[in-house]
């Protein structure tokens, strides 16, 4: 059966510079096994499937798969799916606030001058990292333990731990390999005069062949929650990601008056058509 399909570049500064996402726009009737098989075949960091809505508060519903597993939430699939759904003719109840249903519940997506932006989802795990894990991370990254200035669990769906290094330059120097058996965010600040506040890298070795994710909305949301709270950055700010692997992703981080984090960026459609599933 032919189903509408789009491939979208998310958090991008130009086609081919962000994070690609495969979106199956008419996934009703597909089994979990069929979805997983297609996500494994695309071999992208995530593939999403727009499925029938069961929550009347949602405008559309989505299931999100990596090459190896289904996950409840991820940032670039949220913005990319919303972008593709709107381009395909989706009409939200509120034109400026689209509501997505996913494994983490309802996620609000807004239209902003910088593109679509999602409100951070609830944190599933938050708090200190024990010394054994930090020593393991330092060894896997071939850095000294004292180069890790701070660390936290900041899991809002994919399972993130994050570490803070002294500078964006140091973050970009690191070599990330498959020996790091952990979903890890690595963050460092740019100099105060820079128009960009943070450089972010996302080690993702547990998800098929994807060792490093080029643009990661969920991680940037939880890092913003962490580092704004620590006083390292102030919203609004810009973060970049992917420079170490030939990408140029950009994140616009802002806050609502109630303190909720918003993660925004630009999405572009690079391919449309149909797939036989």
pLDDT tens readout for residues 169-220: 999 999 987 777 788 999 999 999 999 999 999 997 766 667 899 999 999 9
In the block, tokens 């086609």 appear at 15
User: Which neighbouring-strand residues pair with 199?
Assistant: 188, 240
How confident is the model over 92-110, as pLDDT tens digits?
A: 999 999 999 999 999 999 9
CB 20 within 8 A of CB 28: no
Q: Which fold has domain 125-263?
A: Diaminopimelate Epimerase; Chain A, domain 1 (3.10.310)
The pLDDT value recorded for residue 178 is 73
Digits of tens for pLDDT over the chain (277 positions)?
999 999 999 999 999 999 999 999 999 999 999 999 999 999 999 999 999 999 999 999 999 999 999 999 999 999 999 999 999 999 999 999 999 999 999 999 999 988 999 999 999 999 999 999 999 999 999 999 999 999 999 999 888 999 999 999 999 999 987 777 788 999 999 999 999 999 999 997 766 667 899 999 999 999 999 999 999 999 999 999 999 999 999 999 999 999 999 999 999 999 999 999 9
In the block, tokens 């731990």 appear at 161
In the block, tokens 């940037």 appear at 220
Q: How crowded is residue 273: how many other Cβ atoms within 10 Å of its Cβ?
A: 9
Which CATH superfamily includes the segment(s) 2-118+264-276? Diaminopimelate Epimerase; Chain A, domain 1 (3.10.310.10)
The pLDDT value recorded for residue 182 is 82
> What token pair was written down for 266?
């630009």
- The gap between the terminal CA atoms of the chain, to the nearest Å, is 6
The pLDDT value recorded for residue 209 is 63
The pLDDT value recorded for residue 180 is 76
CB 103 within 8 A of CB 72: yes
| Residue 117: its H or E element | strand 115-119
Residues 6+ apart with CB under 8 A from 110: 96, 97, 98, 116, 117, 118, 119, 262, 264
Residues 6+ apart with CB under 8 A from 71: 46, 64, 65, 103, 157, 158
The pLDDT value recorded for residue 177 is 76
The pLDDT value recorded for residue 233 is 98
Residues shown for the chain: 277
The pLDDT value recorded for residue 207 is 62
- How far apart are alpha carbons 221 and 260 in whole angstroms? 10
Domain with CATH 3.10.310.10 in the chain: 2-118+264-276, 125-263
The pLDDT value recorded for residue 7 is 98
């Amino acid at each position: 059966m032919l189903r509408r399909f789009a491939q979208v570049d998310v958090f991008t500064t130009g086609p081919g510079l962000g994070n690609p996402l495969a979106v199956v726009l008419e996934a009703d009737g597909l089994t979990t096994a069929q979805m997983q098989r297609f996500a494994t075949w695309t071999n992208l960091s995530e593939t999403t499937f727009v499925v029938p809505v069961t929550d009347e508060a949602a405008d559309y519903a989505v299931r999100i798969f990596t090459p190896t597993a289904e996950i409840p939430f991820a940032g670039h699939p949220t913005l990319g799916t919303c972008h593709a759904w709107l381009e395909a003719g989706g009409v939200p109840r509120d034109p400026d606030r689209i509501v997505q249903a996913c494994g983490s519940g309802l996620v609000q997506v807004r239209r902003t001058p910088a593109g679509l932006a999602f409100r951070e989802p609830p944190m599933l795990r938050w708090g200190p990292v024990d010394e054994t894990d930090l020593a393991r991370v330092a060894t896997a990254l071939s850095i000294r333990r004292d180069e890790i200035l701070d660390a936290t669990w900041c899991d809002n769906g994919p399972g993130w731990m994050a570490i803070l290094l002294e500078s964006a330059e140091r973050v970009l120097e690191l070599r990330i390999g498959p020996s790091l058996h952990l979903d890890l965010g690595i963050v460092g600040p740019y100099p105060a005069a820079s128009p960009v506040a943070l450089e972010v890298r996302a080690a993702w070795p547990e998800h098929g062949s994807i060792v490093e994710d080029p643009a990661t909305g969920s991680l940037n949301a939880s890092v913003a929650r962490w580092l704004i709270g620590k006083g390292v950055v102030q919203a609004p700010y810009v973060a970049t990601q992917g420079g170490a692997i030939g990408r140029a992703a950009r994140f616009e981080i802002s806050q609502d008056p109630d303190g909720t984090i918003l993660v925004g960026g630009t999405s572009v459609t690079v391919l449309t058509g149909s797939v036989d599933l």
